[in-house]
Amino acid sequence: MIYFDNSATTKPHPEVIDSFTKVSAHYFANPSSIHPLGGQVEKLLEAARQQAADLIDVPKETVIFTSGGTEGNNTAIKGVALEHQSRGKHIITTTAEHPSIHDTCESLEKFGFEITYLPVTKDGTVSAAEVEKAVRKDTILVTMMQVNNEIGSIQPIEEIANVLQKYPKVLFHVDAVQGLGKVPLKLADTGIDLCTFSGHKIHGLKGTGILYVNHTAKLYPLLHGGSQESGIRSGTENVAGAVSFVKALRLIKEKQQRNILKKLHDKLMEELYQMEGIEINSPADGAHHIVHFSVPGIKPEVIIHSLSQKEIYISTKSACSSRDQAESHVLVACGKANDIASSGLRISFSYENTEEEVAIFVKELKKAIQQFKEVLR
């Protein structure tokens, strides 16, 4: 099997599964209980929080455990909107965001919030200058992805964060789900107020993740109850999930220094450039683990089905919208024509993939395209 759909989800690492199983079996008490068993679990949870903080180099109290990217993005965006609406209802984002940002912002429009959707370049990025131009007196939040989940564009997050420091009342939220463990991002003392991470993108388990919340960021909680997670996320904590997330985070950080992703990226891009009828959508300076291209005239599901018969698994766009047969909103935002925007294919690598797998994929891709062309003759 060749699995090239790692931006949708990754295969959990055995050590991650083992840590979840052990904690679930032996540390099952409620961490809020005052008896010794509860105390042991609470200590384990706080140890996991400290380890997560150390691994992303932030203070322990800024780490909030969540169920993943969608919850993290919703908590950040809606939390800021509800908490700060008395001083402004203007939010800035881009036209090429993941549904968990785009749809969340869109939902707030029903409650009187005004959203500025900044247009992106053909490479899927915006400049810090464009962001600054969009800032108004009533702006309360700027929210965007670090790495685009479809085409791998990398936003100039550090530059944008630096510019926004001139506007201390404007909070900056970054969705770093696709960048974690692959594209470096410094959080502490950079101007980034909120940042979302997800476990199942780094060989962790689904339903795990963290939201970084800077000391200066005030959020209105979406969940009320027992005031867990600093009052931001009430509900009995998923301690096994938190511990397993930290295990996955530690393992991916150890692999981040390898250059295998660049080798895979460069090898595949070189092959694609030589193929006729291929339109490459990923920018040359994008994230190395994502390569997106289109084969105009051929429906992507046809190629995906053909490759699946060879046990090669790729995707089209975000797994959250892949069942939607419409054109990619990201490619449309980048100015791509309909035939390109509706025929996109995404290859996304992990550190476990090999150059041999890339060679096999290219060979089978050529076969699939040729077979389809022969059918049309």
Q: How do residues 273-320 score in pLDDT, each as one tens digit? A: 999 989 999 999 999 999 999 999 999 999 999 999 999 999 986 555
Strands in the chain per DSSP E: 2-3, 63-66, 90-94, 114-118, 139-145, 171-175, 194-198, 209-213, 279-280, 290-294, 312-313, 344-348
Give phi and psi for 9, each to the nearest 5. Answer: -170, 160
pLDDT of residue 344: 96
The DSSP code sequence of 12-51 is: PPHHHHHHHHHHHHH--S-TT-SSHHHHHHHHHHHHHHHH
Q: Is the pLDDT of residue 72 over 70?
A: yes
Please say whether the beta carbons of 167 and 158 come within 8 A.
Answer: no
pTM of the predicted model, to two decimals? 0.95
* Tens digits of residue pLDDT in 324-356: 557 899 999 999 999 999 999 999 999 999 999
Choose, from 105, 195, 320, 334, the residue flagged as catalytic: 320
**Alpha carbon distance 316, 328 (integer Å):** 9
**DSSP 8-state symbol, 328:** P
Give the amino acid at 172: F
SS3 253: helix
320 belongs to the catalytic site:
yes
**DSSP 8-state symbol, 199:** G
Q: Is the pLDDT of residue 377 over 70?
A: no
Please say whether the beta carbons of 177 and 194 come within 8 A.
Answer: no
Q: What is the 3-state secondary structure (H, E, C) of 250-286?
A: HHHHHHCCCCHHHHHHHHHHHHHHCCCCCEECCCCCC
pLDDT of residue 372: 82
SS3 223: strand
β-bridge mates for residue 212, sequence order: 63, 195
pLDDT of residue 260: 95
Confidence of residue 358 (pLDDT cuts 50, 70, 90): very high
Least confident of 17-21, 48-52, 76-80, 297-301: 297-301
In the chain, pLDDT over 70 holds for what percent of residues? 97
Distance between first and last Cα of the chain: 32
Query: How large is the C-alpha radius of gyration of the chain?
Result: 21
